[in-house]
Structure 1
């Protein structure tokens, strides 16, 4: 089996990948993550997932490289990482009582052959009605400023949900393990 490399600096993705009990390394890819003009959100996350994997291929030329990217979509608006308290408040107020769809792009690149698999896994969260005091309490407690949509589903953020819908809950955290296992199996990886 070729060694696995996660093209991400995300501790959330590393924790998820560790569930598969396969040895892996990780490295942060350096790519431009800006959206192209009028690029659909699904195409954006697929493109960025593959570009992250490709960015590490020259320095890791005999690896299976996993790339992933995620955006949250509210209506037609893409919600990125808020980075600040004020932006996170704005995102959560807009999401209150609505559904937010998380689109997670996933790529698996065999850097020795150049062959790759790419997909997008959606997951929808129906948000509770949220008022500003509740949002502020949540943000001060969990500080999810590095998370698309302004909450951590693997933490207290789940208290903001009314319901969820999707085929793979791990996609909500940023690495859809069910789809990744499919991709790894196609590359001949034996999953414990």
Structure 2
């Protein structure tokens, strides 16, 4: 069987990929995630997913490698992983009462061939109080999530609506698109 590799250290992506019941290994792709000058959030997510898929396959040309990246887009500006309480607080305060787009790109590579797709999830954030934001951050500690929002846990209480055609995209790996890209390389979870 062909080796399948997830080029990610994200526990969320790993948990999602386990759902497909395919054996896989994980590697740290060690990709610089700094945005390029003038790069839109969508372009950033797409570029990073491809870079991770390519980096994860170095030295394993026959492996099928999945790379993914998510960038939150607020009014055309990228919101990354906050890394700290203070940054998360500022992010959520800036997001309240607004609509964001979470671009989750996935790329699958095998040797020199790479295919990719993007799922964009539209999220409407409630106009929540500072006290509610503080409570959410203290309980959920979403410091490793783009846009400081964990929709799979208490972060759902911050939201008015989520619109998506790929329900796992907001968590970090659009599985419908991932399955389609894996099938391109002859790897079907249902085969």
- Between the two proteins, the alignment pairs up a number of residues equal to 190
- Secondary structure of the 1:2 match is coil
1:61, CA displacement in angstroms?
A: 2.3
Map residues 85-164 of structure 1 onto 2, 5 A cutoff: 85-111=85-111, 114-164=112-162
Asked whether the equivalents of residues 66 and 107 of structure 2 are also in contact (C-alpha less than 8 Å), the reply is yes
Q: Provide, for residues 112-144 of structure 1, a one-character-per-residue CA deviation record: whole Å limited to 9, x for no partner.
A: xx1110122100111111110000000000100
Q: Is there any run of 5+ residues in structure 2 with no aligned partner, and where?
A: none
Q: Following TM superposition, where does structure 1 have runs of at least 4 consecutive aligned residues deviating by more than 3 angstroms? A: none
1:9 corresponds in structure 2 to 9
Asked whether the equivalents of residues 179 and 188 of structure 2 are also in contact (C-alpha less than 8 Å), the reply is no
Map residues 156-175 of structure 1 onto 2, 5 A cutoff: 156-175=154-173
Q: In structure 1, what is the Cα distance between the partners aligned to 2:167 and 2:90?
A: 25
Aligned Cα RMSD in Å? 1.0
1:59 corresponds in structure 2 to 59
Asked whether the equivalents of residues 122 and 163 of structure 2 are also in contact (C-alpha less than 8 Å), the reply is yes
1:39, CA displacement in angstroms?
A: 1.1
Asked whether the equivalents of residues 40 and 78 of structure 2 are also in contact (C-alpha less than 8 Å), the reply is no
Asked whether the equivalents of residues 41 and 77 of structure 2 are also in contact (C-alpha less than 8 Å), the reply is no
- Secondary structure of the 1:86 match is helix
Asked whether the equivalents of residues 40 and 76 of structure 2 are also in contact (C-alpha less than 8 Å), the reply is no
Q: Is there any run of 5+ residues in structure 1 with no aligned partner, and where?
A: none
